[in-house]
């Protein structure tokens, strides 16, 4: 029996993109059972675009905030209304690719202990128009990775989990992103890694999502304020000291995952002595590779 799928989409002034996002959701071989769009008091034509889709697709529901409450509060409202066993958090300016729900829900049905399904992502660079496939791990052949296997790939193949290509098992979400407003743009990443290291993941080797890279996205705006970005990164690390995460911190330490998050995180770790345990041997073995990759990107 297929599990019910709920899509939660927070939107603010993405009227020029949200039509593409909704079209990608309703043109799937396995349709989501409900698509909950939370409009955060948009001042553009977003609501008009959404309502046009609602006329043809009754599974689309629109919730409207009277005042702008922010992305995480909007997502929290959508989570409260969602009824599905599987949850997809979809950005209003990104897209899912054909097969997203059919393939991911099939994997989660096949591996009932996995907390999330993921895949590579097509990255679209808005300013240049260029596109490339961003792999969250190379040479991965397993459909299901136990947390111990994630540690292996995190170190050997620089495995990442995050981004738009994710379908979650609702029962695995003990710490939803909306509970971590102090993390800002890193709130979803915190939820992603906790679920991955606690429950394991299903992996599909071909891209099932399309990500817009633009200086105007929520994440890009969050990263522009370097002091705020550093504070959020430091808070992320400190949260891992909470006893409720004691079952996964040894695995995170062993993987050296902080090395893959970039220079801002390296500084955050340096400034947080209570989290120096994460600067493991694996962290320092990964660091040269990450620095080389960073230099290559800057010269492209």
As for how many domains the chain has, the answer is: 2
**Is residue 233 domain-shared with residue 181, that is, in the same domain?**
no
* pLDDT tens by residue, 237-285: 999 999 999 999 999 999 888 988 889 999 999 999 999 999 999 899 8
**Is residue 89 domain-shared with residue 230, that is, in the same domain?**
no
Is the pLDDT reported for residue 8 higher than 60?
A: yes
Q: Per-residue DSSP letters for 110-153?
A: HSTT--EEE--EEEEETTT--EEEE-SSSS---SEE-HHHHHHH
Instruction: State pTM to two decimals.
Output: 0.91
Partners of 247 in beta bridges: none
* pLDDT tens by residue, 99-154: 999 999 999 999 999 999 999 999 999 888 899 888 776 678 889 999 998 887 76
**Is residue 147 domain-shared with residue 267, that is, in the same domain?**
no
**Is residue 141 domain-shared with residue 271, that is, in the same domain?**
no
What does the pLDDT read at residue 189?
87
Closest CA to 48 of 71, 23, 14, 76: 14
SS3 87: strand
What is the rounded end-to-end Cα distance, in angstroms, of the chain? 48
Q: Where are the alpha helices (DSSP H) in 3-62?
A: 18-26, 46-56
Residue 273 is part of which domain span? Answer: 225-300
Least confident of 176-185, 209-218, 257-266, 277-286: 176-185
- CATH number, position 133: 3.90.550.10
Cα–Cα distance for residue pair 46/285, rounded to 1 Å: 47
Q: Which residue has the tokens 């599974």?
A: 59
């Amino acid at each position: 029996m297929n599990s019910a799928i709920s899509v939660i989409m927070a939107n603010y002034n993405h009227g020029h993109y949200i039509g593409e996002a909704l079209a990608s959701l309703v043109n799937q071989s396995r349709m989501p059972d409900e698509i909950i769009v939370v409009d955060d008091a948009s001042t553009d034509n977003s609501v008009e675009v959404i309502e046009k889709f609602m006329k043809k697709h009754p599974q689309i529901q629109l919730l409207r905030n009277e005042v702008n409450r922010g992305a995480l509060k909007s997502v929290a409202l959508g989570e409260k209304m969602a009824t599905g066993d599987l949850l997809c958090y979809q950005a209003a300016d990104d897209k899912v690719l054909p097969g997203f729900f059919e393939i991911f829900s099939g994997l989660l049905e096949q591996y009932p202990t996995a907390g999330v399904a993921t895949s590579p992502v097509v990255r679209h660079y808005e300013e240049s128009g260029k596109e490339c496939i961003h792999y969250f791990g190379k040479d991965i052949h397993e459909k299901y990775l136990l947390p111990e296997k994630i540690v292996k790939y995190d170190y050997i193949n620089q495995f990442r989990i995050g981004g738009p290509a994710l379908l979650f098992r609702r029962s695995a979400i003990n710490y939803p992103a909306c509970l971590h407003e102090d993390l800002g743009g890193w709130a979803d990443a915190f939820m992603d890694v906790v679920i991955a290291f606690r429950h394991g993941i299903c992996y599909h080797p071909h891209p099932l999502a399309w990500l817009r890279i633009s200086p105007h996205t929520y994440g890009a705006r969050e990263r522009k304020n370097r002091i705020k970005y550093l504070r959020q990164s430091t808070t992320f690390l400190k949260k891992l000291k909470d006893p409720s995460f004691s079952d996964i911190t040894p695995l995170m330490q062993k993987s050296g995952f902080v090395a893959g998050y970039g220079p801002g995180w390296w500084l955050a770790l340096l400034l947080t002595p209570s989290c120096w345990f994460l600067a493991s041997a694996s962290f320092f073995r990964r660091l040269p590779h990450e620095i080389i990759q960073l230099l290559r990107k800057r010269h492209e």
